[in-house]
Amino acid sequence: MAALNKNYDKIESTYLFSEIGSRVKNFIQKNPGVEIMRLGIGDTTLPLTGTVIKGLLREVKNLGSKKTYKGYSDPQGDLKPRTALVDFYKKRNIDLSAQEIFISDGAKSDSANIQSIFGLDNIVAIADPVYPVYSDTTIISGRTLVYMKCNEENSFIPALPKEKADLIYICSPNNPTGAVFTKKDLKVFVDYALKNKAILIFDAAYAEYISDKALPKSIYEIAGAKKCAIEINSFSKWAGFTGVRLGWTIVPMDLVVEGAEIGKVNHLWSRRQSTMFNGASNIAQAGALSVLSAAGQKESKKLIAYYMDNAAIIKKSLSELGFQVFGGGNAPYIGREGEGYIRFSAFADTENVKAAMKSIKENLKIPK
C-alpha cells in the first residue's frame, strides 16, 4: 500500500513566501482600492541589463538555426560559464577547477537537494531565524534539526551549535537578518567543522552586495574551508535572474567525509545531478556568461547599487522613527524575522520604497 511522507505534516501546509503572496492576493481582492507597497519578498524589480539581454537573444537565435541548435546541456553545466566562474574566483585569490563547479537552476533547489548525498542520520544545524528552505528540507527528509540562536546580543551571528552537528547551514549576507559574517566569524565555523568532521553548506547568494572589502564574499577565503565546505551561489539577486533561474554550487575535490576518499563528495553530487537533473537552460547559461563578462559585471553593480540605495532609505526612515535597525549596510535586508521583529526587503522600486516609508511615518501609531 502506498503511503505518504508523514514528515510533510510536520511543516506548515504552505511555503512561507507562497503564503505571504496568497494573503496579499486575497487582501487585494477584498480591498480593490487599496494600494499595496510590498517590501517583504526578495524579488528583483529592475529589468535585465543590456549585455545580458544580448547574450540571451544570441542563444535564442542559435536555437533557431540547424547549424547552431543544441539540446540537453551537460548536467554539470556548460564549460564556458564554469570556466568563467573559475576566472571570477581567481580574481579573489581563490583557486578552483571547472570540475568543482556545478551550474543549476538556482540556489534554492541546490540548498535543498544537497542533503541527498548525505546520510539520513546526519544532524543538521541552522540559524534561528532562518531561510525556510533549510529547515523545511531537513524536516521533510526526517533528519534531526538543531538551531543556532541569532539575536541582538550576538549581532545576529549564530553561535556554534550546542549539540554536535554534521551539516551546518550558513548564509552570509544573511537572509533574513542582513547580518554579515567577518573572516573571524567564519573561521570559528571552519575550525569547528574540521575538528568535528562536519560539512558547512555556505549560501553566498547575496555576496555581491558586500561593499566592505574586509568582509569575505566566499567561504573559501578562509584557510581550510575547501576541506569542509560546499558553497552555493546564484545569479538571481546579483543580476536579476529571479525569473531566468540560474545558480551554481561548488564542491571542492579536497572536501572529505570520514571514511570516503578524496573527490568522493564531488563525484556523488555529480552522480546525483546526472540522475535527477538534465542541465540548466542553454539560454539561461548564455545569460550567465554575459553577466560574468566585464561589461556584465559593471552593469550588475549598478543594479546592486540601486537596491542598496533602497536599503539606505529604509534604514534612515525607520531610524528616524526611533526604531533600532539591523542590516542594510552590506545586505539588501533590514530587520529580522522572528518574534518581536520585522524584516524589510530593499528589492523594490525606489518610488515604492519612498511611498512605503512615507506611509509608515504618517500612519504608524507608536506606543509611548
For residues 368 and 174, the model is more confident at 174
pLDDT for the residue numbered 233: 99
pLDDT of 338:
60
| Model confidence pLDDT, tens digit, residues 28-71 | 889 988 888 888 777 899 999 999 999 999 999 999 999 999 99
Residues 232 and 269 sit within 8 Å (Cβ to Cβ) = no
Write down the domain spans for the chain: 18-47+295-363, 51-291
% of the chain residues with pLDDT over 70? 97
Distinct helix (H) and strand (E) counts, the chain? 11, 9
Q: Which helix (H) or strand (E) holds 231?
A: strand 229-234
| Cβ-contact 223, 229 below 8 angstroms | no
What average pLDDT does range 99-112 have in this prediction?
98
Q: What is the CATH number of domain 18-47+295-363?
A: 3.90.1150.10
pTM for this structure?
0.93
Torsion of CA 78, 83, 86, 91, to 10 degrees: -140
So what's the pLDDT on residue 302?
98
User: What local confidence, expressed as pLDDT, does residue 138 receive?
Assistant: 98
Between CA 191 and CA 171, with CA 271 as vertex, the angle to 5 degrees is 35
Q: What is the pLDDT of residue 87?
A: 99
Does 335 score more than 60 pLDDT?
no
Q: Which fold has domain 51-291?
A: Aspartate Aminotransferase; domain 2 (3.40.640)
pLDDT over threshold 50, residue 337: no
- pLDDT of the residue at 334: 60
290-327 tens-digit pLDDT: 999 999 999 999 999 999 999 999 999 999 999 888 88
Region 135-140: mean pLDDT is 96
The pLDDT value recorded for residue 327 is 84
| Residue 336 CB partners (closer than 8 Å, separation 6+) | 129, 150, 156, 176, 177, 178, 326, 327, 342, 343
Span 276-287, mean pLDDT? 97
The answer to whether residue 99 scores a pLDDT higher than 60 is yes
pLDDT in tens, 258-269: 889 999 999 999
